Amino acid sequence: GVELPKYKKRRHHHMYSKNVLLDPRHQRVAATTVVLLAVVVLTSMVTSPPYQYPSPTLRSSTAQSYTEIVSPKLGYIGYSASIGSSQKKKFTAEDYGKCKVTPAHAPSHTVTPTFTASYPGSGAKMTWNLIEALTGLVTGDDFQLNGHQNLVSIKTHYPSHEGREIPGADNVPRAILLVRHPLYSIPSYYNYLYEMEKKLKNHSTRAPLEAWIRWRNDSFDRQLQVWRRHTEYWMDHYSKVNRLVVAYENLTDDEMGPIEATRIAEFLSRSDGVTICEAEEIPCVWHTVVKYKKKEGRRLQEQQQIANAEANTENIPAVVTADETAVSTNIPPANNDNNNAGISVPESATEVKNGDAPPGENIRKAKPKLSDPAAPQSKRSGPKYIAPYTENQFKDLMQVLTMLLERYRDEKALAPILVKYIDEVDRRLVEPPFNPKDLNPK
């Protein structure tokens, strides 16, 4: 037979390993290494919280972004929502193209509606008008709802006290959640309450600073919790695929606004019976409605309201605001519910009663102001100021925003918005205290 080669055992390898293990010096080094690693791991587990969002400095200097992929019908659009960006491109009307927006109409076919939910003072009316311009279909309000089948969207503030739960709401399969920073939505909402309390035309008058501070001290904590519960309700009631989160701050931004409008249009197009305008027209439609391009958006918003106002103000006493524009007084008082109870408004508004006007004073008929109470283009008269808060109120707001960020940290649409809101509170906290002498009365 064939003699197989003999292989020698490599005993030196095993002998080397055995010698290393038996060396006391190596044993001490290995033991020390194991102990140090254990200490590091245990220390990190004890000192580190379960979740940490970036520090304020990091958040302010780093662009936080999230990407949404929209339907191929509109093309694939990726975008970033920058946090703390100080450089902004200046846009002109030509950047948004040309379009013709006509008033919406009631459809002759059945339409599956979508909720548009927001805390009061967050630009709901502006978004309502934008949806009508994008789809050509009328929207509705949960207070005047008469059936769902002919409405492309149902505006609601539920579960705040300015909204109501709608029978059959489970038959509305999708929802748009419109959010705005509580630092600004709560004062905007109070302006509305002030107008109702004083029986002034809606969106006509900004509450005096003293009135805001008095109401804020009494109601801010409660309204902050209403804002929180509203956000939680709509985030939890609809799944990610059936919910669209839109930030007011993005929707009114020159760069982000058309992209947000595209997201809204694509989301609405998923509903039965809904068609949208051409994709290339969306930036122009957005600019026309939100930025009131060449007054066309304002004309669309006021067209029917002006006709109604002129028909109703022939023989009705008027109130003259600081800009000498008369406003109708046939406004129903605010709801006397528990949340509005105890609202006290100082008698320091800038309005003048019609009977007190000088003889021959030119009092014009009422013409509605711009519809959105929260819009930067608001035509409210009265002193202009950024609503001040106490340090404790800032801290309470920070706690609520941080809690929501922890709860919804995996929500790619909401989490960056909350981070931006937290940054804004950080910034306001380090600003000098508010001085009433700095108030601009113009």
The per-residue pLDDT for 70 is: 36
Intervals of the chain under pLDDT 50: 4-5, 7-18, 20-21, 41, 44-87, 293-298, 301, 303-377, 441-442
The per-residue pLDDT for 431 is: 81
Residue 7, token pair as written in the block: 């292989």
Amino acid at 264: I
Q: How far is CA 14 from CA 18, 27, 105, in A?
A: 6, 17, 88
Query: Which residues, listed in sequence order, are joined to residue 155 by a DSSP beta bridge?
Result: 116, 141
Helix axes 124-135, 282-290, angle to 10 degrees: 140
The per-residue pLDDT for 148 is: 57
CA within 13 Å, CB half, 11: 1
Q: Look up the pTM and report it.
A: 0.64
Burial readout 2-21 (b: 16 or more C-beta within 10 A, e: otherwise): eeeeeeeeeeeeeeeeeeee
- DSSP class of 50: S
- Total number of residues shown for the chain: 442
The per-residue pLDDT for 146 is: 53
What's the angle, vertex CA 252, arms to CA 221 and CA 164, rounded to 5?
45
The per-residue pLDDT for 142 is: 74
Burial readout 359-396 (b: 16 or more C-beta within 10 A, e: otherwise): eeeeeebbebbbbbbbbeebebbbbebebbbeeebeeb
The per-residue pLDDT for 31 is: 64
In whole angstroms, give the CA distance from residue 261 to residue 270.
15
In whole angstroms, give the CA distance from residue 282 to residue 266.
11
Q: Give me the DSSP letters along 220-255.
A: HHHHHHHHHHHHHHHHHHS-GGGEEEEEHHHHTSTT
What's the angle, vertex CA 30, arms to CA 24 and CA 31, rounded to 5?
90
Number of Cβ atoms within 10 Å of the Cβ of 334: 17
